[in-house]
Amino acid sequence: AKRQGRNTWQWYRGRKAESVKHSVAMRHDLHTALIEGHFELHYQPLVDAMSSRMRSVEALVRWRHPTLGLIAPGDFIPLAEQTGQIIPLGRWVLLQACREIATLNEQSDRVLSVAVNISSLQFCRDGFLDEVKYALKATGLPPERLELEVTESVLLDGTDPIIELMQTLVTMGVRVALDDFGTGFSSLSYLCDLPTHKVKLDRRFVQKALKNRRMAAIVQGVITMAHHMDMQVVAEGIETRAQQEDLTRRHCDLLQGYLFARPMPLEELKRLPDYLPAI
């Protein structure tokens, strides 16, 4: 029996013997969803650590499945990456995020930036630069208002062309943030060459830092290092006041997490005040 939301993937995954059949079914479902427009974006604010003001939002995709309900990205992005469907899906996400936030900025006196998650497969593929140019041109979002979140796995594709692409984006005014910082395998030295302007500390780091002295040292070290490289630091997964205070005391620039706001539909974001003190 099919279950709702969070349990969907268990349902898909629970049938190991039928897993091939399932991925075929899900692949088909993804295809239908793309054509029929069953994806939507939710937005989560990033707040300035000092002022608690919303500076930007991260776009997070959800799949509104006709029978299974709302499906989280962790339950379909990996499959979409396997099947290559991440390419059309990612293209849709980029265009939709630019369109929705450009419109929001026009209709209010807001100047929000939007951060869009880009799969390494999408980023490293020929034609990605054109997708970005198209999204900006078609929606009128100023390049300075767009930020691309990539993980260090983009480097698996070889460094030189990737650095070149990032430099082109930066020259256009688009910014690049390094997501899930610290969870991957590459060495710190790649940071010398990547023209990124922001690192996002993974929530596992952030949440562990309060209880573990060594993790606290890593977090502090990353923040100090990033600042010396003229990069900003975002702490993800801030859920408690203690975490907020800890990261603010360590001079983290931006905070993101349930303590301030959860990812929300565009309509809710429209009504959200700019000032977001911890709740």
Binding mask 178-197 for ligand C2E (x = CB under 6 A): -xx-----------------
If contact means CB under 5 to 8 A according to the sort of partner, which of Ca ion, ligand C2E, none does residue 237 touch? ligand C2E
β-pairing, 69-71 vs 39-48, is unpaired
Considering the rule CB under 5 A, would residue 179 count as an interface residue with Ca ion?
Answer: yes
Residue 132, H or E segment: helix 128-139
Binding mask 98-127 for Ca ion (x = CB under 5 A): -------------------x----------
> Phi/psi at 52 (nearest 5 deg)?
55, 25
Is the Cβ–Cβ distance between 155 and 177 less than 8 Å? no
User: Which segment (1-9, 44-52, 168-176, 195-203) binds Ca ion by CB under 5 A?
Assistant: 195-203
Q: How many CB atoms lie within 10 A of CB 181?
A: 23
If contact means CB under 5 to 8 A according to the sort of partner, which of ligand C2E, Ca ion, none does residue 104 touch? none
Residue 208, CA distances (Å) to 52, 120, 172, 205, 251 in order: 23, 27, 37, 5, 17
> Phi/psi at 239 (nearest 5 deg)?
-115, -20
Q: Is 151 helix (H, G, I), strand (E, B) or coil?
A: coil
Task: Supply the minimum distance, in Å, between the C-beta of residue 138 and ligand C2E.
Answer: 18
User: Which segment (23-31, 129-137, 235-243, 267-275) binds ligand C2E by CB under 6 A?
Assistant: 235-243
Binding mask 72-91 for ligand C2E (x = CB under 6 A): xxx--x------------x-
Rounded CA separation 120/23 (Å): 21
Q: Is 186 helix (H, G, I), strand (E, B) or coil?
A: coil
Q: Of the two residues 149 and 246, which places its CB atom closer to Ca ion in the complex?
A: 149
Is the Cβ–Cβ distance between 150 and 177 less than 8 Å? yes
Considering the rule CB under 5 A, would residue 180 count as an interface residue with Ca ion?
Answer: yes
Q: How many CB atoms lie within 10 A of CB 62?
A: 18
Considering the rule CB under 5 A, would residue 149 count as an interface residue with Ca ion?
Answer: yes
If contact means CB under 5 to 8 A according to the sort of partner, which of Ca ion, ligand C2E, none does residue 172 touch? none
Q: Provide DSSP, 80-127.
A: HHHHTTHHHHHHHHHHHHHHHHHHHHHHSS---EEEEE--HHHHTSTT
User: Which segment (20-28, 70-78, 191-199, 271-279) binds ligand C2E by CB under 6 A?
Assistant: 70-78
- Positions touching ligand C2E (CB under 6 A) are 44, 60-61, 72-74, 77, 90, 93, 117, 119, 179-180, 203, 236-239, 256-258, 263
- Interface contacts to Ca ion, rule CB under 5 A: 117, 149, 179-180, 202
